[in-house]
Structure 1
């Protein structure tokens, strides 16, 4: 499919260039990188003294990779003709703001380059085996929307995003501090695995009709809108239940039960999709889903900090 033709206009006066570029990072998704790094580091505190430089490097690298992945999505949605001036969401800078496609791609690759330099520092301070893991994660970030068969167009988008942007980031953040991976770090990472996947599922529920028109085979399309909303609710329930199971098994501190304070956002996200079919009507539900991951992860980290010091 050929790229859509459009007028190459400059960003409007009401929207400054910096704001356009800030939106291209899709800031509501960046918590999918920030929360796992914070959580993995909080877990490491129970095993060793923390190295702030490694934490900061890991945090910045993860944010850059996430932002670059979002820009790859922007670029390839344009190339495949998926973005139009009527598309909903904060993407679409190429068709709406006149930013050149090559510029978007160049910035994304530049962000990868900076993340790579930070990765060299992280590896030199921990283990060079992480270089293989990091490069593979960057490859997945590109293939998520790039390549001949983008992962985001398949039923595996939720699992892949949850695994690499949730669990793996937590475990790497834990490993660079401790030099190991424990069963507890794996078990605690599972709810974030699920909630990061939920962010992708919410996106696919919103875009279900448009994705179907363009031949995508997302999980939401395969199981249908109603079942996808039920699945989203189930993912929220399992995430909270998992924490309380770990508490009951005395694997984590009871202070981590504080995550229940984020439940209203999960309820709002689920209810926000019910009975909705128009994409713009589902934007608040998408936002609430991302906020659930953010608040849940922060509270989980706070619970770890409180449990450590008390």
Structure 2
């Protein structure tokens, strides 16, 4: 551990993969689709400010991308994922370790400027939401006791990539927060929590030396049961919202994502091969993309038709 710290201070390590891998674009649907749905619901109630929508989306994506960068940065500092880094620049396609932190900090800085403009344009409470989002995004991985290391990773994602970002997409267009938009945000909360939980189930053994994640606290079997519950509630919530005419019936297109949910669960079955378990995270990401985009399309198509 001492040797790693010394090498990090002298910037000797380089990321083996690319910047794209560091940013993890497959996870960015956690921000993209809630903003699309929140804005779609706002559109059904009146005209929207396109510039505010684009600004919010860009700022939110920057915060999530920065969180991903900090996650890899601090994981390595804490002695994890050493295979992702190399001392030989010719073996690397990504940046030096120290540059990752500067890039993440720059992303947060830009998002703060954009957030201030959004707040002045719409509502000042955006500042509070932005400050909390940035703080929790940073301390998710940073600090002596990162939130992800004490079993709070799923909870943080549930709150900020579920209700908070969906409601922001809606409220910055000039609408008051109500029970309907809160209910519409629930599927996204369930989905992102399921993705974090899948990652923690996959990394249960690896994380045992540093993190006390939810699967480590509850055990693998119980964690998988919670995962199934999260996925099930996401679909049940959409069905209920359609049944009570809160959203258009076209939103039932999310049912097309069910095969991916089943595939995810199959990858984590008892006696599954380690290679299948590792691929479970990819299935979780693909499921989030499919569900989120289908939900977004359903909301927007329903608005345009109706």
- Does the 8 Å CA contact 1:42/1:305 hold for their aligned counterparts? yes
Residue 163 of structure 2: aligned partner: 167
Residues 170-199 of structure 1: CA deviation (Å, up to 9, x unaligned): 111111112421211110100100100111
> Structure 2: where are the runs of 5+ without partners?
none
Which moves more between the two structures, 93-102 or 268-277?
Answer: 93-102
Residues 199-241 of structure 1: CA deviation (Å, up to 9, x unaligned): 1001101100111133x21111112112222221221111101
Measured after TM superposition, the shift of residue 151 of structure 1 is 0.7
Measured after TM superposition, the shift of residue 93 of structure 1 is 4.4
Measured after TM superposition, the shift of residue 254 of structure 1 is 2.0
* DSSP 3-state at the match of 2:136: helix
9, 12, 18: which is aligned to 1:8? 12
> Structure 1: where are the runs of 5+ without partners?
86-91
- Does the 8 Å CA contact 2:15/2:96 hold for their aligned counterparts? no
Residue 33 of structure 2: aligned partner: 35
* DSSP 3-state at the match of 2:144: coil
Residue 83 to residue 198, structure 1, CA distance change in 2 (3 Å): same
* DSSP 3-state at the match of 2:79: coil
* DSSP 3-state at the match of 2:208: helix
Residue 68 of structure 1: aligned partner: 66
Residue 154 of structure 1: aligned partner: 150
Measured after TM superposition, the shift of residue 94 of structure 1 is 6.3
Residues 86-141 of structure 1: CA deviation (Å, up to 9, x unaligned): xxxxxx34677374332111010001111112112211210122112101110110
TM-score if structure 2 supplies the norm length? 0.90
State how many pairs are aligned. 297
Residues 61-109 of structure 1: CA deviation (Å, up to 9, x unaligned): 1111111001111111111111211xxxxxx346773743321110100
Residues 224-264 of structure 1: CA deviation (Å, up to 9, x unaligned): 11222222122111110111122222322222211111111
Give the ranges of 4+ consecutive aligned residues of structure 1 lying more than 4 Å apart after TM superposition.
9-12, 93-96, 276-280
Query: How well do the aligned residues superpose, as a CA RMSD in angstroms?
Result: 2.2
Residue 293 to residue 135, structure 1, CA distance change in 2 (3 Å): same
Task: State yes or no: 1:295 paired with 2:290.
Answer: yes
Residue 236 of structure 2: aligned partner: 241
7, 16, 19: which is aligned to 1:21? 19
Distance of 1:94 and 1:55 partners within structure 2: 40
- Does the 8 Å CA contact 2:26/2:289 hold for their aligned counterparts? no
TM-score if structure 1 supplies the norm length? 0.89
Task: State yes or no: 1:116 paired with 2:112.
Answer: yes
